[in-house]
Amino acid sequence: MKSERSFARRIDLTSLQLFVAVCETGSIGRAAQQEFIAASAVSKRLADLEGAMGTPLVYRHSRGVAPTPAGESLLHHARNVLLGLERMHGELSEYAGGVRGHVRMHANISAIVQFLPEDLGAFARAHSQIKIDLHERLSPEVLAAVHEGAADLGLCQAPAAGLAEGLQCRPYRSDELVLVVPQGHVLQGRAAIKFEDILDCDIVGLHAGSSISLAMRAAAAQAGRPLRQRIQVTGLDAMCRMIDNGLGVGLLPARAFALMQGLGRLATVALDEPWARRTLVLVARDFAALPASARLLAEHLAPQAGAPPERVAAPSRAARPQPGAVAV
């Protein structure tokens, strides 16, 4: 620990900023012009930085400079440090403008379309001085962002294999997938349908990494049939328009479809599969250790009434996951 503190004292942010400029411009002279500082001062700081690191950071040649392998590593870390400082300045400046809290949140498209507008709207009205920074991501990306600290909270499909070590979750909402077909389609009159009976149809689907696409591929593989997914789109509204124009059929959460009524002449058929009913969870690294503003939002979205955070356990070998029971 002592050596780490000593190292931190030997590194200053100005030297890191100048080092990044030298690497990006490929020249000490151009970096000096860009940063409005004498070239000799840049050269001196670079030499001091190499001394602090105990290794050469750039190759010097007649055409300019280029980072050594150690320099490439430092460049990566220096950019992250400087980016973090920019974000810190941006967030703290919001406090000066009256904001009293900031929550970083990632969520999958199912949560964003079906539930979050109402839930976040109610929270914003009750806590107007808390800013919510929301990003749409696939469920694996949501989990990774929370695990890496890039997001305070995440909303995604519950992973069948369980959460990674260091993550906690609370149940949020459930949804159910239905088959969406154009009106007049041969399957429209069915009360319910097995997924295998859909595999003769062309399918309009979401991004290949989405939970619905992964679920369909898993179910098709179990049936030993190919998945005729001819078209992939990134939004549920685009998916409905493609289906309306006869380009195939598709699976959507029932509530999302209900919210998008009017996007075409469409009908739904119940999907008779155990994996059609899905659970969305709220994820954090440690709910008890969240900043106050993030704890308020977590309690608003998934109140626990004093219960300890739920940890999702990995399925046992005897309880194999159903096809499609995969994370978004």
Cα separation, 220 vs 63, in Å, equals 57
pLDDT at 187: 93
Indicate the pLDDT class of residue 310, thresholds 50, 70 and 90.
very low
Give 116's contacts (C-beta < 8 A, 6+ positions apart): 107, 134, 155
Q: What is the mean pLDDT of the chain?
A: 85
Reduced to 3 states (helix: H, G, I; strand: E, B; else coil), residue 177 is: strand
Lowest mean pLDDT among 48-57, 87-96, 163-172, 176-185: 87-96
Give the residue, 10 or 31, on which the prediction is more confident: 31
Evaluate if residue 50 carries a pLDDT over 60: yes
Comparing 77-81, 178-182, 313-317, which segment has the lowest mean pLDDT? Answer: 313-317
Cα(178)–Cα(258) distance, integer angstroms:
11
Taken in order of first residue, the domains within the chain and their CATH numbers are: 2-88 (1.10.10.10), 174-277 (3.40.190.290)
The pLDDT, as a whole number, for residue 158 is: 84
Please say if the pLDDT value at position 305 is more than 90. Answer: no
Q: Residues 194, 269: contact at Cβ < 8 Å?
A: no
User: What is 199-221 written as a DSSP string?
Assistant: TTS-EEEE-TTSHHHHHHHHHHH
> Which pLDDT belongs to residue 94?
59
CA angle 7, 12, 13 (to 5 degrees): 130
Note the pLDDT of residue 307.
Answer: 41
CB 120 within 8 A of CB 221: no
Determine what percent of the chain is predicted with pLDDT higher than 90.
57
Residue 250 pLDDT greater than 80, yes or no: yes
Mean pLDDT calculated for residue range 103-128: 93
Tell if the pTM clears 0.85, that is, is over it: no
Q: CA dihedral defined by 21, 23, 28, 30, rounded to 10 degrees?
A: -60
Mean pLDDT along residues 249-260: 91
Q: What is the pLDDT of residue 5?
A: 60
Per-residue pLDDT reduced to its tens digit, 12-49: 889 899 999 999 999 999 999 999 999 999 999 999 99
Cα separation, 101 vs 77, in Å, equals 28
